[in-house]
Structure 1
Amino acid sequence: MSAGSNAPTIIKRKKVVAGGGHHGGAWKVAYADFVTAMMAFFMLMWLLNATTEQQRKGLADYFSPTIPVNRISGGGSGAFGGDNIFTEETLAQSGTGISAPSRSESETEADALAAAQVAALREIEAALLGQGGESMLSDQALRHIITRLTDEGLVIEIFDLPDVTLFVDDTVVPNPVIAEIAAIMARLFQTVRNGVAIEGHLSAESVLKVDNPVWELSTGRAAQMRLMLQSGGLDPMRIVRQTGAGDREPAMRDATAPRNNRIEVILLRSDR
């Protein structure tokens, strides 16, 4: 175009449309929200299927407010009110009141009876062994005794020593040491009213005998202990059990050890 020409100047403007034409970018945000929602939905379905009721409750409590606002009962007295969260009454789905539930009278009495039983058995044990004072038994007799308190009662084991046996050879004839122990036990047992059980035990023979009357001998020795207790003043009606276990229940790993020759006298708990 020559200088000084009166022809109009034409300016061509190109319209640039951002976002890919008339679609724009909003659909991408909407799609992302949809995918996120679906992932959350499927995760929720998986959690419901893979967890227990207790675990689900724990998850719900995790997302619940730490201050108890409302489950089924409120804390006010208005239209939406209910019991106060500090009530002493038990509320459904919200546990008990502010205080722990009181124990029933029967449960309290049972606990007191059990404690009294244990205390009485401990006193018998202490008197027999001379705990906290002088024993009623001689030092020689005390060597043959051990005691233990179990759920069944106070178990008193009277056993052979390598140099002193409770009975004469393989008989039911008592030696003086077990006669002394039986007399003292009979006196102590008269201070309570608990039942008494007696068990006889023997050690195994190192060589198998053709005639080995372990059952008869263990039972006979248990019977002899019963007779000695009764002679010492124990009411026969308090004997509730008398058994002989033979050599089937050794106290030592070595079944032939003299320690397995023993009499177990059990002062039974009356609260069982």
Structure 2
Amino acid sequence: MSKKNSNIIIVRKKKGHGHGHHGGSWKIAYADFMTAMMAFFLVMWLISQSSPEQRHSIAEYFNMPLHVALSQGNRSSLSESAIPGGGDDVVKQEGEIQKIDLRKIERNRDRKSLNKARENLEQIIQKDPRLSDFKSNLRLSMTEDGLLIQIVDSQERPMFKVGSKDLEPYMRDILNAMVPVLNQLPNRINLTGHTDSLPYARGEAGYSNWELSSDRANASRRALMAGGMDGNKFLRVIGMANTMSLADSTPDNPINRRISILVLYQDKEKSILQKDTLLQDLSAAAGDQKNNAGFNISNKTGE
């Protein structure tokens, strides 16, 4: 055979390398995934250990980080740092971002105001001759509802004439001495009359301790107004008879014959007014239903 007619066949063989490792990129991806998972679980743990106020602050920071940065952390909470504990001193607590509870702020402001009023009254009791002789008859205390001022009887010094709503002259002096302090406060007051458990001479069916305690409360209200008290400061004037004896006293003890002046926290005042409004609405609705029922009955009768 001639060399010119022969075909040259070239066979190329590729050596197999198996699947190999495809490089090290998968390691980087895996490391990123594990880092993300660790960060996720760390965040979840921190959230579980933090208070609702702290979680709110963190969320608020990440919602508006630029605003916080531009204001240098100075927001409604007057924080000095955008990050809790931030600043030159890493353990510094002052200036940390906190959720602002307006009701709590108002209550704290109210508490300071009433505490100041209590201090003023205590000073007046010490210095004013109208009150200094009656220290044992005057009791001041802070309660969850406000500043409680109690003017109590003693066996030797009743504040009212026996079995009567008429005030003794020194009781008028005591009330008048309190008017300037009470008028300076924006808070309204509950004025309550109390008696001991001794039955009234005319019996429960007639004029009783209920009427007597109510009449004494109203007599005290009139005396306060005569001394210059603003009439709008009274929220409630009520009589409780002998239903609320003082602690560590027998029901017939003379100290249970007393007048209580409760200077209300302003949020407590709002709560009372809301409840009263609700009761008025319920009463009005009940009255409308009764009127409608009567109208329907009359219509049927007319038919």
Match of 1:233 among 228, 232, 257: 228
**1:105-124 paired onto structure 2 within 5 Å:** 105=100, 107=101, 109-124=102-117
Partner deviation per Cα, 1:82-101 (whole Å, 9 max, x = no partner): 2775x9xx934x34299761
> Match of 2:187, SS?
coil
Residue 249 of structure 1 corresponds to which residue in structure 2?
Answer: 244
**1:1-272 paired onto structure 2 within 5 Å:** 78-82=32-36, 85=39, 91-92=43-44, 94-96=45-47, 101=54, 102=57, 103-105=98-100, 107=101, 109-130=102-123, 134=127, 137-205=130-198, 210=203, 213-251=208-246, 253-272=249-268
* Kept in 1: contact 2:126–2:132 (CA 8 A): no
The amino acid across from 1:257 in the alignment is N
TM-score (norm 2): 0.56
Q: Sort the Cα spacing of 1:137 and 1:126 in 2 relative to 1 into closer, same or farther, 3 A.
A: farther
* Kept in 1: contact 2:191–2:237 (CA 8 A): yes
The amino acid across from 2:43 in the alignment is L
Partners of 1:170 and 1:152 lie apart in 2 by 30
* Kept in 1: contact 2:190–2:236 (CA 8 A): yes
Partners of 1:173 and 1:132 lie apart in 2 by 23
Partners of 1:233 and 1:166 lie apart in 2 by 20
> Match of 1:119, SS?
helix
Q: Which runs of 5+ in 2 are unaligned?
A: 1-29, 58-97, 269-303
Deviation (angstroms), 1:233: 2.1
Deviation (angstroms), 1:235: 1.8
Partners of 1:244 and 1:131 lie apart in 2 by 28
Deviation (angstroms), 1:253: 3.3
Percent identity for Structure 1 against Structure 2 = 19
TM-score (norm 1): 0.62
Partners of 1:177 and 1:192 lie apart in 2 by 24
Partners of 1:227 and 1:248 lie apart in 2 by 24
Deviation (angstroms), 1:232: 2.1
The size of the alignment, in residue pairs, is 192
Per mean C-alpha deviation after superposition, the further-off stretch among 189-198 and 131-140 is 131-140
The amino acid across from 2:233 in the alignment is R
Partners of 1:206 and 1:221 lie apart in 2 by 16
Residue 89 of structure 2 corresponds to which residue in structure 1?
Answer: none
Partners of 2:113 and 2:158 lie apart in 1 by 30
Runs of 4+ aligned residues of structure 1 deviating over 3 Å after TM superposition are 97-100, 131-137, 206-212
Higher helix share: 2
User: Aligned-pair RMSD on alpha carbons?
Assistant: 3.0
* Kept in 2: contact 1:204–1:247 (CA 8 A): yes
* Kept in 2: contact 1:157–1:263 (CA 8 A): yes
Partners of 2:200 and 2:126 lie apart in 1 by 45
Q: Which runs of 5+ in 1 are unaligned?
A: 1-75
Deviation (angstroms), 1:194: 0.2
Q: Sort the Cα spacing of 1:77 and 1:161 in 2 relative to 1 into closer, same or farther, 3 A.
A: farther
* Kept in 2: contact 1:215–1:244 (CA 8 A): yes
> Match of 1:154, SS?
strand
Q: Choose 1 or 2 for highest CA Rg.
A: 1
Residue 54 of structure 1 corresponds to which residue in structure 2?
Answer: none
Partners of 1:189 and 1:156 lie apart in 2 by 11
The amino acid across from 1:266 in the alignment is L
Partners of 2:169 and 2:201 lie apart in 1 by 30
Partners of 1:81 and 1:136 lie apart in 2 by 77
Deviation (angstroms), 1:141: 2.7
